[in-house]
Structure 1
Amino acid sequence: MDKLTLKKTALVIIDMQKGIASREGLAPYSAEELLAQNEKLTNSLLNTEALVVFVHVKNHGGEALKPITDAMIAPASQPAADFSDFIQESAYDQNNKNVIHVAKHNWGAFYGTDLDVQLRRRGIDTIILTGLATTIGVDTTAREAYQANYNVIAVEDAMTDFNPALHKAITEGIFKRLGRVRSTDEVLAMIKEAE
């Protein structure tokens, strides 16, 4: 079943922000490729019955997670002032009436945010999921969405990571168990044929 009902659909874009997208080593897709695919999806849904959700992370300072792990990361210095700014211009266009922003402080977009409330009050049951990094923000959000009984469509070529092998493992081994994995072109076709 690859039918969409736009008024029940949200495009959820994870961490497409300057402080993450500007880092070196994105793979299998570059920041430019990621931006191009996300722009296509966003533009196809702006000012429709669907919802476009720009999610950004702010997890430094007092909001930073500090559990003890085997892969401890040295505390980062204060990030640049534009760290959380979205790389998509459409995130800030006031003419777009179906756009919301969600600030998160954890890996996933649901825990500790109002994302679930924003989606449920609009009757949304399907999430088209994109962004970066595949293995952190996108994966955690996909798992949270699945556990909250949302239909998840993970757009493989509209997300990327810093480890291409893990990107492939997650998109092929995990996301197919949480929902559907599609390409940007396949999702654009679904949007075009949506009710």
Structure 2
Amino acid sequence: MKRALIHVDYSNDFVADDGVLTAGQPAQEILPNVMRLTKEFYEQGEDIFITMDTHIAGDPYHPETKLYPPHNIAGTWGHELYGEMQIYYDEIKDSDHVHYIQKTRYSAFAGTDLDIRLRERKVDTVVILGVATDICVLHTAMDAYNLGYQIVVYEDTVASFNPDGHTFALNHIKSSLGGDVI
């Protein structure tokens, strides 16, 4: 088993109290666990993919424009990683094992080269963390499943602004995608 860590949207806009689409306290409370798992992967020389929802200000063609207020706008504070994670990323970002991928859809696989990069590295298991459990984390897990990856999600590294959606997504990952929810 060769694994890689996929960070999903752990940004200021999704986590900080004054983020545009914040999951708030549940997302803030997972920070120590997000840091622990990220450091574990880094120290073991395993690949880390920071995938970040990225939007262009005023883009009328993006489907989320009709669903949500402008968020995670490229180059803004809201688009940066949340808190201590941004500081740690700045320290490790030049490593051959740390990769940053901007995404424009819920799934980290949609419209990106994530699958190619994982296959180049012979990864067969993805460990997914981030926000929101029932949106971008779930869609990333679904695409990982459809591409043949084993899925691992640690419950204490994902969060949502919707408690029912969070529970549904974890159950779906476990029961319908065969993922390990730990």
TM-score (norm 1): 0.78
Higher relative contact order (CA 8 A, sep 6+): 1
CA RMSD of aligned residues (A): 2.6
Match of 2:76 in 1: 81
* Contact residue 5 and residue 127 of structure 2 kept, 8 A: yes
* Contact residue 52 and residue 101 of structure 2 kept, 8 A: yes
Larger radius of gyration: 1
Q: Which amino acid in structure 1 is aligned with residue 32 of structure 2?
A: A
Q: Which amino acid in structure 2 is aligned with residue 92 of structure 1?
A: D
SS at match of 1:179: coil
Q: Which amino acid in structure 1 is aligned with residue 35 of structure 2?
A: E
Aligned length: 173
Match of 1:186 in 2: none
SS at match of 1:178: coil
Point out where structure 1 has 5 or more consecutive residues left out of the alignment.
184-195
Percentage of identical aligned residues: 25
- 1:31 maps onto 2:27 in alignment: yes
1:45-76 Cα shifts (integer Å, max 9, x gaps): 114242111110113433852379xxx43653
C-alpha displacement of 1:119: 0.5
Superposed structure 1 runs of 4+ greater than 4 Å apart? 77-80
Q: Which amino acid in structure 2 is aligned with residue 123 of structure 1?
A: K
- 1:18 maps onto 2:16 in alignment: no
Cα 1:157–1:180, aligned 2, differ >3 Å: closer, same or farther?
same
Which piece of structure 1 moves more, 55-64 or 134-143?
Answer: 55-64
* Structure 1 CA distance for aligned equivalents of residues 30 and 61 of structure 2: 26
1:157-180 Cα shifts (integer Å, max 9, x gaps): 210011101101111234432133
Match of 1:93 in 2: 91
